[in-house]
Amino acid sequence: MSSILVVGSMAFDDIETPFGKSNKIIGGAATYIAYTASYFNPNIQLVSVVGGDFPQSVIDDLEDRGVNTEGLQVKKDEKSFFWSGKYHLDMNSRDTLVTELNVLGTFDPVLPENYKNADFVMLGNLSPDVQRKVIEQMDNRPKLVAMDTMNFWMDIAREELDKTLKLVDVLIINDEETRQLTGEYSLVKGAKKIFEMGPRFLIIKKGEHGALLFHGEQMFYVPALPLEEVFDPTGAGDTFAGGFIGYMAKAGEVSFDNMKRAIIYGSAMASFCVEKFGTQRMVELTQADIDQRLQAFVDLSQIKLEV
């Protein structure tokens, strides 16, 4: 079975949506990615950092799901990363209210020996400097390195981000971030500019409007499943990334066709994430839930048509 190295934040989040307020709950990019990918490939190697305030029960739960936490640093006397955000009425856009890096501010990742040959790498949202340090410690070039990032890092660490992008195969960002990164309104022109920065594949998430995959001149689109209830979109992007990398690792081979399937898996997993606050929905899924949701995606967009 292929291994997946997952890097990213583990956090406390404070979330406000038009439907309610969460108070301090568990979040973080790596948390969502690891929980989600564990449904596809239990051989997951986690790299992150938390403070002494982070519940051991969450770490134990991840381990029970097959996530190796040897690469998780626990800084007993420090505080975990804290993020707070408030969603607008459309639930597609949000304002970041607070970002307290805490342990993340000085994080120096150290890869355990048995992580250094991972087949697939998912660089979750985190300082681009840390993302690069992880890649540089690997013994062999992985089959696929995918990376997520956000406007926060484009604003404060653009040079570092450009260096990291050179080492990455797949960039996963949203439409607004694509425009900020490239200065292009057209996503097609933006994709071409991103290919010059390093990645060979670009995945653009468009929230409730689905996701686009670009590779050379090829394009593929997956809709988002229209849902009756959306409570909290936090982590949907990370869950998408977890489903994407989880499927790719399960498939084993990097091809455009597998990547098309992987973004359907990513979209299906993300559609669960938004149904409850925080990671709540992502810890309770069954294989039958996932199969049903994948079928809903197939039914949503497939029709026999002769051209």
Nearer CB in complex with ligand AMP: 68/84: 84
Residue 304 CB: number of other CB atoms within 10 A? 4
Contacts 24+ apart (CB under 8 A), 90-98: 91/17, 91/18, 91/208, 91/230, 91/233, 92/207, 92/208, 92/233, 94/233, 96/152, 97/14, 98/14
- Angle value at C-alpha 22, between 17 and 23, nearest 5 degrees: 130
Question: Nearest approach, Cβ of 175 to ligand AMP (angstroms)?
Answer: 13
Nearer CB in complex with ligand AMP: 43/99: 99
Question: Nearest approach, Cβ of 238 to ligand AMP (angstroms)?
Answer: 4
Nearer CB in complex with ligand AMP: 28/246: 28
Please give the helix or strand (H or E) that residue 114 lies within, else none: none
Nearest-CA neighbor of 4 among 233, 290, 241?
A: 241
Nearer CB in complex with ligand AMP: 165/251: 165
Rounded CA separation 215/201 (Å): 5
Nearer CB in complex with ligand AMP: 31/182: 31
Nearer CB in complex with ligand AMP: 83/244: 83
Q: Which residues bind ligand AMP (CB under 6 A)?
A: 9, 11, 13, 27-29, 83, 99, 125-126, 152, 234-238
Question: Nearest approach, Cβ of 110 to ligand AMP (angstroms)?
Answer: 19
- Angle value at C-alpha 88, between 170 and 264, nearest 5 degrees: 30
Nearer CB in complex with ligand AMP: 43/129: 129
Rounded CA separation 28/10 (Å): 4
Nearer CB in complex with ligand AMP: 83/201: 83
Per the structure block, which two tokens stand in for 81?
Answer: 């990363």
Burial class, 60, CB count within 10 angstroms (exposed 0-12 / middle 13-18 / buried 19+): exposed
Residue 152 CB: number of other CB atoms within 10 A? 14
Question: Nearest approach, Cβ of 114 to ligand AMP (angstroms)?
Answer: 25
Question: Nearest approach, Cβ of 23 to ligand AMP (angstroms)?
Answer: 14
Question: Nearest approach, Cβ of 216 to ligand AMP (angstroms)?
Answer: 27
Question: Nearest approach, Cβ of 250 to ligand AMP (angstroms)?
Answer: 22
Q: Are residues 35 and 238 in contact, defined by beta-carbon separation less than 8 angstroms?
A: no
Question: Nearest approach, Cβ of 60 to ligand AMP (angstroms)?
Answer: 20
Rounded CA separation 188/208 (Å): 20
Is the Cα dihedral 133, 138, 140, 146 positive or negative? Answer: negative
